[in-house]
Structure 1
Amino acid sequence: MNISALASMIAPVDLRSCLISQNGRLVFEHYRHPRIPDEKAKVNSCTKSFLSALICIAMDQGILPGAETPIIEFFPQLRSASDPRKREITLEHLLTMSAGFEWSEFGGIKSFPRMTRTGNWVEFVLEQPISETPGTRMEYSSGCSQLLSAILVQAAGKSTARYAEENLFGPLGIEDYRWESDPQGIHTGGYGLWLRPGDLLRFGQLYLQQGRWEQRQLIPRELVNRSVQPSIPAGPPNRGFYGWHWWTDTFGAGLGGHSAAASPLSFDYFYARGYAGQFIYIVPILETVVVLTDDKRKKERHPANVFRDFIAPLLLEDLN
């Protein structure tokens, strides 16, 4: 990978941080200020992918049932819902954001800000009308993530953050973090996690290694693979597909529906994405993890898609 070319290309973007690891070795490291490696910052919706990992761990431990389980098992009030389709919503529908709730995160009915202004976020989500049969279409929803966090609390008998400390953060060496919570004290499933750039890199490396960290299998390989598979087309204006709280896509000549396995000039990747420029990209075929963080307001952010415009073309050269 042409590291010197990359440094000059991303300079105008003024990222907060950019870390690239290949074959388990840090090959590129950029910070806007020397203090940033030790500073926690909001990772926004990258929180969703951490929650996905915790859900997979809980399934493996047997404290959560399989993904096909209806959420009525955790929210019995849905038994009396006027719309019977609410009783069809499963854990997988929440993970793929295809629960069918009438929801628009920020535009339209502004579901997310309305949720955060209520006294009970979980009840707010469960009370939303169903607009489509569950499993039909992805509609981006931090409400689905909050339900998953509440379900994990029920299953584990402890807070989402405490469960993370014991089963994910601790083994990865993540000790300095912050995690916001809703009025009931349930940690926010869709956002609210504060971490350091190096923590994001370790999490990405865990997924590159299919859930294995040092000598421990923290997340079962089969659940890692299932969670990052393209499960449902991403709702517009997003591109690619959505898995279990992970985004998936292809770069290069395989864009016509062919995967990297079908074309030597393309590669598949999956990624966590958070508002305002927080990303963790994993490119399995190239043993690569990329972490990008930013902290500028929308009007001040560079319009480039740093990964697809600058980094991915350089990675593609490694396949030639």
Structure 2
Amino acid sequence: MRDPFRLLLCLCLCSPVAAAVAAARAGERAPEPAPDPAFARVLARWDGDARADLQAVVVLRDGAVVAERYYNGADAQSLHDIRSAGKSVTALLAGIAADQGRLRFEQAATRCLPDARGRALAGVRVSDLLSMRSGLDADDDRAESPGNEDRLDQAADPVAFALSVPRREAPGTRYAYNSLTAYLVGLCVEGASGQPLDDFARQHLFAPLGIDHWRWQRDAGGHAKGQGNLSLRARDFARIGQMALDGGAWQGHAIVRADTLRAILAPRVRIAAVDPYADDYGWFWYRRTQHVGGRAIEVVFASGNGGNKLYLVPALRMVVAIQSSAYGRGYGQRRSQDILRALLAAAALSDGTATAR
């Protein structure tokens, strides 16, 4: 598979807009690009959506906002729960902890979760948790699963509950979407860093990105929920995506090492047979090749219930952040994909940089 970030680098070197953005990041003043009317027309299509639960769409190209629109009473200052897209943020935090030498992806999870020794987690690697192949009996699509998300949310002691979930199969053998493993990765970052997850996020991710207004829900035990329930403003959500698109860097400073970020985003498991919106799963990040206008465009993304999406499109130097409150409604995911595909079509037509595979 082609390395999308190497392709991105080549494209950015040829882009005058990117040069202006780079100059601004180096301390020189550069004018904010004018809004793109083609993107604005795309976003206006959803103004009259009768379902009234789309909240925001922000589009970045070459690091600059080229379109944004707010719906149904939301505005640029609104905090919005991105649900399971927060799992992708947890993966970035695990990467930062790895960069600091506090954990290793291939280490046993019990090294950062010592209370799990002698339990079903024995023999499970951190990477198994990140790819949802822990072997634990945790499956959010099966209500009867002992580690189902609803049972975790209802537990009076979520940590004890998570550590008590039995094993179903050998670690690393089967993908099963669940929130329990993301919760465990959050606990692992806490154990490795010696800090609450949200404090670690504030210090090492949000503050360096200039994100100063956010909220991360804590569970009954006082732990930030690594599986989701992180609330962000739409532009800040997009800012996280831009950092990831830029290989882990922000304004010339590495937030996540480039090689660590590549490991997080790399496709690990083929999931097209069980997920209609994705081809592959990495470490709490997804990939899909979108076929638009006869072109194949690779998209890496974070995904949350209700249509909350953070799309990275390396070939078009584009980030799309979508916030939606269609929780538990299937149309939310379809609508966000429709918005993405319309934006991809507009971008591909405007500059012809999308490449076929």
TM-score in terms of structure 1 length: 0.88
Q: Contact 1:251 / 1:308 at 8 angstroms: preserved in 2?
A: no
Query: Shift of residue 5 of structure 1?
Result: 4.3
Aligned length: 307
Q: Could you report, residue by residue, the CA deviation over 1:259-280 in whole angstroms, capped at 9, with x for unpaired residues?
A: xxxxx92121111111112110
Deviation at 1:141, TM superposition (A): 1.4
Q: How is 1:160-171 mapped onto 2 (pairs within 5 angstroms)? A: 160-171=197-208
Match of 1:100 among 123, 132, 135: 135
What residue is the counterpart of 1:319 in the other structure? 353
Judge conservation of contact 2:133–2:173 (CA < 8 Å) in 1. yes
1:218-253 CA-to-partner distances (Å, cap 9, x unmatched) read 110001111111111227134311111111111128
2: distance between equivalents of 1:127 and 1:297? 29
Once the two structures are TM-superposed, the CA of residue 4 in structure 1 deviates from its matched residue by: 4.9
Paired residues for 1:1-320 under 5 Å = 2-13=38-49, 15-32=54-71, 36-64=75-103, 66-81=104-119, 86-109=121-144, 111-234=148-271, 236-238=274-276, 239-252=278-291, 265-296=295-326, 298=328, 303-304=334-335, 305-317=337-349, 318-319=352-353
Deviations 1:52-98, CA, capped at 9 Å, x for gaps: 1111111001112x2110112233444433x6xx4221000111111
The one-letter amino acid of 2:321's match is V
Return the alpha-carbon distance in structure 1 between the equivalents of residues 74 and 48 of structure 2. Answer: 20
**Structure ranking higher on relative contact order (CA contacts 8 Å, 6+ apart):** 1
Structure 2 unmatched runs, 5+: 1-35
Structure 1: stretches of 5+ with no match in the other structure: 254-263
| Aligned match of 1:256 | none
- Over the matched positions of the two proteins, sequence identity in percent amounts to 24
Contact 1:10 1:306 in 2 (8 A): no
Alpha carbons of structure 1 residues 158 and 134: separation in structure 2 relative to 1, 3 Å? same
The aligned residue for residue 260 of structure 1 is none
Q: 1:88 to 1:5 in 2, by over 3 A?
A: same
Corresponding letter in the other structure for 1:25: A
Structure 1 residues 33 and 173: CA distance shift in structure 2, 3 A: farther
Between the aligned partners of 1:190 and 1:233, the Cα distance in structure 2 is 21
CA distance in 2, matches of 1:193, 1:248: 22
Shift of residue 168 of structure 1?
A: 0.7
Instruction: Assess, with a 3 A threshold, how the Cα gap between structure 1 residues 17 and 137 changes in structure 2: closer, same or farther.
Output: same
The separation in 1 between residues aligned to 2:116 and 2:328, in whole angstroms, is 39
Q: Give a deviation string over 1:265-302, Cα, whole Å, max 9, x none.
A: 21211111111121100011111000111124556956
